[in-house]
Every structure is written in structure tokens, then in C-alpha cells.
A and B are shown apart, each in its own frame.
Chain A
């Protein structure tokens, strides 16, 4: 099971922080992030021979991206499992690097969702057994999960608001974050309802933007300018596609992907220094804290009370400001991965979590449908 532990590493990361980029296409933003990631790694575009990507607007994303970048990769992977895709891409990238199918793997993504549509919309095909009832995906599925969690465990809207406030407090320390205005619990609780019990402030941002990550085998990971972030463990799990097929709306498949990733990495939750959890909605953070073993099932709401996950709290969660306050260009998974690498390198400026050796990134896709957990560490953790 631990066959890929520490065998590959991220040596370059890059963003396009044009969170509002009128007149720019998704591929134009993506290319900017790729350029930044390659510069970060000290590599040239023509050295990329592995491409892993996915977009919501291309029928054959790997082909569109390869052509646009002008590369001829010998390894392609376009696994499309929603926002978690780019965390999942770490797994085939590592396997392909280890098998010698490629030497430089590029994981990349770009979107102009904000300026193209301006709304939190799903590009998904309608689900025939759900569509007649008018769900507003993706929000409706998460609202149903939040309602059930509140019913079953006494979670309150105030707890959800704590998640939004913590994200904003981190964003205020991140000059690259999109939403940095100060806010309060009261202001968050007073926001317009969208799908009860979720208000507009329980929903992630809608931004443009792009990200890119460069991976190599560990035997050469120290040949690059920046300290490597080694992939120690990664696992994906899925139990359903549609929210109506989710067995228990209070338990996600993160309860499966998490333990598998921890086992591969040979660490436990209390070893982790910083967490980046895909917070498309405030309930996500609560569910993933529970399912990944950072608090007992049902206790996530009470766990986040009083600033536990905010700057200065007991657990550093979503230090870039998350999808709620940093950015959310359609699919978010690559951005928490990039923040994890920056934290491991000690590059996170005012929001840097001191002595970060182990970072957990958790990706979510669909309607809580796809769960992918990855654990990265510094050289000291190998």
C-alpha cells in the first residue's frame, strides 16, 4: 500500500490570481499559471512530458490544453471527478513518474467562470431522477446534507457561520485572496438564504483564476530551486454521484479516503500541521474535520466554535482563505494543494503556520460524491 510513499514530489507551483479577468479565456488564465509553476521549478515548457488536467468547458480537456500550450506529452490523464480531480491527479502523476512514463508531470486548471457566467452553476448534465424537482446544483445537495447534520447532531447555523468567519479571517492575512473585507458572525447569519439552511455566505466564491503544479520523481526532487513537497500518501473514494444516492448525508467517503491516505503516509491526524479542506460550502469543512478524524462524528459544529480553525486557533484550516474567501474558479482542488505546498515551504507570509512539516489537502467533487485525501511533507518527513 505504501508503494508510492515519498517517491514523487511537487517542485513547482503557480497561480493566476486574476480572480476577475474580463476578456480572458480559461486557457489564457491556465497558461499564466503554468508559466508561473515552471518558473518556480526552474523548468521550461518543452520539458513537460506528462499532462494531467480537466476543465468543465472542454469536451477533451487534455487535448485542448496540450494543443494550447504547444506540448506533446507522452503521458495524459484527464480523470474528471469534479473539484477533487486535481488532488486525485497526484496519484496517476506519481504512478506515471515512477513507471518512467514521464519525467515532468504538470497538473493544471483554469477557469473564467466569474466573468463568463457570474454564477455558481454546475456544468453537469441533469440527473433524470432529480431534475424534475428543480435542484439548484451544486447548492441543493449541500443544503440537504447540512439540514440532516443539524437535525441529527444539533449543529447550528452559527457553527456554519464560524467556518465562514474563520475562512475570512485567514483571507485577511492573504494578500492574494479575493474577499478580504472584515466581517462578523452576525453579519454572516443575516445574509440572504439560498437553499435552507445555507445562505449566500455559506457558499464559496465564484471567481476566475488558474493553478498549476509540477511534479518529478523524488530521486531528482532536490535538483530544483525550491524545497520539494513530497507526496507521502493519497487516496480517492466515491460512494455515489447524485445526492439522492448518498447513503448517509452526514458521512462522506472522506471517512474512507482519509484513513487510506494516512496509512500510506504512515502518519495520524494529530501529526498534521496544516489542513486545506475543500470548502465549497461551510458544511464541507465540518464534515471533513469529522470524517478525516480531527473530531468525533457529529461534533464538527461544536469543534469549530470560538475560532478553533481561525488564525491563532488550535488547528490551522484553509489558511489561504479557502473557497469561501480566497478563490473558487469553478473547481477548487488545485488551490488547496498549492497552498499546502507553500505552507510546507514556509512561503505563506503573514498566514504562515510555524514549523509546518506535514500538510493534508482534501478534495471534494460533485455532490459530496468524490473524496480525495493527500498528505504531503517536507524532506524531514521522508
Chain B
């Protein structure tokens, strides 16, 4: 039996979402460099080869930057949007819940939680670490 091709079947994008739907927040790690990478992809940017494995991550991170997206009252309330640096060393866009949008500060320690978006798809959001 030969090894299955790393390029066959559903790809990393589908796998990320499948794992999230199972309640597992996983990120790819390059087995050569040990470095984590997000977004999910086929080739490791560190080796140029398909050397990426899925690893369930701690979900702990730090707010790298934050903004409040203002809306006119008839459009709904203002909301927060952040970039979070995971402790594992990669960054993703998300939002911080359980705080007022303007209370979210750069440097805030946060913890991931799997929530559902408006289409009921699983997405990663964050809560302040102390309240998690």
C-alpha cells in the first residue's frame, strides 16, 4: 500500500471546519520547523512541502490589535473586531465577547471558544482569559 497523496481528498480548509464542528480548535504545525501557521494551507511556507500536521491548540492568546466597528443605530449596535496572537505563535482575526466593544484593549489575555455564526457555522471567538 502506498501512502495516500497529501493532495487528495478534502483539503485543509474543509478539515479545519470539520474539526471545529467536532469542537476541536486545531491549527497546522510544520513538522520540519515546529512553527504554527494560519490560515490552513497545503504547503508549509517554511519548507515549501506538504509538511503540515493538525494540532489542537490551547486557545490561549493575546489581543494584538482591536477596533470598534461603529454602526448607525438602525443598523444594529457597535461591535468589536480583533487580531489575536495565539500562544502557539500565529495570528487570526476574531472578536472578543463578554466585554463592551470599547473595553477590549491591546495586550488583553484571551481564551478561545467555539461559537456559531449567523449561518450556524462554527467559528472561533474569544473571551477574556480571567472570565473563561
Contacts and interface: CB of A to CB of B under 8 A. Distances in A.
A134 B69 contact: yes
A140 B39 contact: no
Contact residues on A (Cβ < 8 Å of other chain), bracket: 20 to 34
Nearest to B95: A133
A249 B93 contact: no
SS class of chain B's interface: helix, strand, loop or mixed? strand
Contacts of B38: 129
B92 A243 contact: no
Contacts of A145: 65
B106 A194 contact: no
Interface string B57-69: 0000000111111
A130 B92 CA distance: 8
Contact of A243 (B13, B66, B83, B117): B83
A331 to B, nearest CB: 23
B94 interface: yes
A144 B65 contact: yes
A244 interface: yes
B22 to A, nearest CB: 18
B106 A151 contact: yes
Contact of A144 (B67, B107, B123): B67
A319 B107 CA distance: 38
A151 B66 CA distance: 10
B7 to A, nearest CB: 20
B21 interface: no
Interface of B: 13, 38-39, 64-70, 79, 81, 83, 91-95, 102, 106-107, 117, 121, 123
Given A195-B68, A244-B93, 6 more contacts: A128-B13, A129-B92, A129-B93, A151-B106, A195-B70, A244-B91
Interface of A: 128-130, 132-136, 140, 143-145, 147-148, 151, 192-197, 242-245, 249
